[in-house]
Amino acid sequence: MAVSEKMQLFATKSSWIRKMFEEGAKMKATHGAANVCDFSLGNPDAPPPPQYNEVIQEIVRDTSPGIHAYMPNGGYPWVREAIAGRMSAEQEMAVSHGDMLMTCGAAGGLNIVLKAILNPGDEVIILAPYFVEYGFYIDNHGGVSKVVNTDEEFNLDLQAIEAAISEKTKAIIINSPNNPCGQIYSADALWALGELLTLTGDRFDSTIYLIADEPYRKIVFDGHQVPSIFTAYKNSIVVSSYSKDLSLPGERIGYLAVHPHIEEKPSLLDALTLANRILGFVNAPALMQRVVAELQDVSVDTSIYARRKEMICTILSGAGFTFTPPKGAFYVFPKTPLADDVQFVALLQEEKILTVPGVGFGSPGHMRIAFCTADEVIAHSAEGFKRAFAKASAM
């Protein structure tokens, strides 16, 4: 077989979202797209803000010599300075352009970080439920994933995290607001996590990095806020993108920032910059760097997702589902009425409703519903959710 055994295994592990997407395409071809309620993909559908269209049209008209040339691997310094100004407010401390790199999305940023810090066999803790790609990114760079469960409401379980830390632990990845459950970790929990990582790092005479994946930072509901990571822990790195808050997932533009006082900062930044180049990214897209620099105080109309969150939560409550209301992102992660989440997702497919089983996110017995879809799709799903829940309850 031409394809490596590892990639065949990875294809199996990552199959749930792809499988539901493919199943959705078949169902739409058979029944018509208007008759299928597809909640399988986290593809933001709120339009980019109007300012984006104005800025990009102005920038593409610039024909100055060298406008499309290489720049420093870390990105344009003036672009990083613009983002650092906004991040200084978010993180409640002064962040400079020298603390930052522009990346090819948050995915590119995570791979750069892991390439820079991991030795073969180093362990990285990921918290279930988690974005499935984390395990693949860690493996890309010789690391080993160590999965730790959160509590019943998807909050940090500090005792479980402490039990998982060993002399091989190099980092922990957190995602808040979380994909797939929409939870936001509290400031108190992050401070406690920071203290735990400091104490265990001292015990093992090692640096344990806290990597915060924050592409949903600006998509929050009901007055919730995403706390500062940098004030909670010195050896922290924030990775983010404009895929969600500007609705630009296809443009692959993101950034990372290290804590201004992180240990061995010069050598770490050198490693991150080199990783940006040798992983083949070279630099983040030049055009989009110039665009996002002008949009630091702009985001999509998050009221669109807030309205849809209320719609889907009302439908799920009315049908009998148990769930923790999401505080951010555009997902809800209810418990399935059958212990076998795959079996229940199949019942939903009979109602022409597509969701993703929780086993794909490391949390069986749940399902992910992505409510970044049209209002009428959500409304149309109500009776199908009720019927599927009733069928499961009768089994």
pTM surpassing 0.85? yes
Return the percentage of the chain with pLDDT > 90, whole number: 89
Q: Which residue has the higher pLDDT, 193 or 27?
A: 193
Identity (one letter) of the amino acid at 151? D
Q: What is the C-alpha R_g of the chain? A: 21
Q: What per-residue confidence (pLDDT) applies to 244? A: 96
Q: Tell me the C-alpha distance between 280 and 152, whole Å.
A: 40
Cα angle vertex 114, ends 108, 117, to 5°? 140
Q: Tell me the C-alpha distance between 395 and 228, whole Å.
A: 46
Q: What per-residue confidence (pLDDT) applies to 359? A: 94
> What is the mean predicted confidence (pLDDT) over 126-136?
95
Any residues with CB less than 8 A from the CB of 41 and at least 6 apart, and which?
A: 17, 21, 370
Q: What per-residue confidence (pLDDT) applies to 164? A: 98
Beta strand pairing call for 123-128 and 144-149? parallel
Measured in whole angstroms, the distance separating CA 18 from the mean position of its chain's CA atoms is 17
Domains detected in the chain: 5-48+301-394 (3.90.1150.10), 51-293 (3.40.640.10)
Q: Using CA atoms in the order 329, 56, 254, 284, what is the torsion angle rounded to 10 degrees?
A: 160
